[in-house]
């Protein structure tokens, strides 16, 4: 059994073990694979694991032994599912492995803006406190989130976890979801998309990217937000019109944005959000805690074991 991992570095930069996977067969693990290297690396593979490397129809045709594609992520748009079905190739993904980690990142961005811990630490290290005359000073407005409203777009597992954390912190919750959710907490209310954006102090995007919601966060929707409000995106960069968001930040239409994802990753140098005011960007790391990556690795191995035993799980093809 030949197993090929095309881009294993982000999952395992060296702090996890591939041993459980290696027990399944002859395992070739590549940190990264360029587009022009894919065909030669999967040519003899029966099992292929990928995170962001595209496996299209041409790739499958070049690998006649391929029986299984394991996507090392929840989203599986990197695989041509229709072509996989035609060729009888099983495709699986890794659902719900990073729910807590992504929800944690939402509040990391919120708290980073409300308290600016790093800004104040830099000030102290620069000698401002030692040389000051007061026992306390601030470099930015300090904001208490208790009593504020967080608006959530997409009320799946991650959105619901964000809501739970928000309630524990004394926040109110508005959410928009395409299907109706039966929620018993009077402080968590389903409403329209426009209401989520106009009434919330923080808006968190926790929905998948589909053909219907590409760049739905645009100038018109941003104009509905409070001037004091913050947009947080830990979903997909393509949900946001980046030019419109940069304009909203630079003109003070909204106060801040916390982004873990961009439309192109790594971003191009001319991405307007890289220089926008009060735009806090992390390099797509919400999923990457050691705990979440360990779960991902374990589920990936379990998926392969289930497939080999004729009881495939987490199938998306």
- Residue 213 CA, distance from chain mean position: 16
Q: Which of 109, 236, 293, 295 is catalytic?
A: 236
Read off φ and ψ for residue 72, nearest 5 degrees: -85, 50
For 50, the 3-state DSSP assignment is: strand
Cis? peptide before 266, omega within 30° of 0: yes
User: Alpha-carbon distance 311 to 239, whole Å?
Assistant: 35
Q: Strands across the sheet with 149-153, in order?
A: 188-190, 172-176, 149-153, 202-205, 230-233, 256-259, 279-281
Written as six digits, the tokens of 60 are 């499958």
Instruction: With CA atoms as reference, report the closest residue to 307 among 6, 8, 10, 25.
Output: 25
User: Alpha-carbon distance 28 to 46, whole Å?
Assistant: 12
Is 284 annotated in the active site? Answer: yes
* C-alpha torsion 151→156→161→163, nearest 10: 30
Q: Which of 61, 118, 194, 265 is catalytic?
A: 265
Read off φ and ψ for residue 245, nearest 5 degrees: -65, -45
Is 265 annotated in the active site? Answer: yes
Instruction: With CA atoms as reference, report the closest residue to 260 among 76, 114, 105, 49.
Output: 105
Is 109 annotated in the active site? Answer: no
Q: Which residue's structure tokens are 């873990």?
A: 260
Largest Cα span, the chain:
74
What's the distance, Cα to Cα, between the start and end of the chain in Å? 21
Q: Which of 120, 247, 284, 302 is catalytic?
A: 284
Catalytic residue numbers read 236, 265, 284
């Amino acid at each position: 059994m030949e197993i090929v991992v095309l881009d294993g570095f982000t999952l395992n930069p060296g702090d996890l073990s591939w041993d459980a996977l290696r027990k399944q067969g002859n395992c070739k693990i590549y940190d990264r694979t360029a587009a022009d290297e894919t065909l030669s690396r999967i040519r003899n593979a029966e099992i292929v694991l990928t995170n962001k490397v595209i496996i299209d129809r041409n790739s499958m045709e070049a690998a006649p032994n391929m029986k299984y594609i394991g996507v090392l992520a929840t989203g599986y748009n990197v695989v041509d599912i229709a072509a996989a079905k035609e060729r009888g190739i099983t495709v699986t993904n890794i659902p719900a492995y990073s729910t807590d980690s992504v929800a944690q990142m939402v509040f990391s961005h919120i708290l980073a803006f409300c308290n600016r811990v790093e800004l104040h630490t830099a000030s102290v290290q620069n000698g401002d406190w030692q040389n000051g005359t007061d026992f306390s000073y601030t470099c930015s407005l300090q904001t208490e989130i208790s009593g504020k409203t967080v608006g959530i777009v997409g009320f799946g597992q991650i959105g619901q976890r964000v809501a739970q954390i928000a309630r524990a912190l004394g926040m109110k919750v508005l959410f928009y979801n395409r299907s109706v959710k039966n929620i018993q907490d009077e402080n968590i209310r389903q409403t329209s998309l426009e209401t989520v954006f106009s009434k919330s102090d923080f808006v968190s995007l926790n929905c998948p990217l589909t053909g219907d919601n590409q760049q739905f966060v645009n100038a018109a929707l941003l104009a509905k937000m409070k001037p004091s409000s913050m947009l947080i995106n830990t979903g997909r960069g393509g949900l946001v019109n980046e030019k419109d968001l940069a304009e909203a930040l630079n003109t003070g239409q909204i106060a801040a944005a916390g982004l873990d994802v961009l439309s192109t990753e790594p971003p191009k140098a001319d991405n307007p959000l890289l220089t926008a005011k009060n735009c806090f960007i992390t390099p797509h790391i919400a999923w990457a805690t050691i705990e979440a990556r360990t779960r991902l690795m374990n589920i990936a191995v379990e998926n392969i074991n289930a497939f080999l035993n004729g009881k495939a799980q987490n199938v998306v093809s």
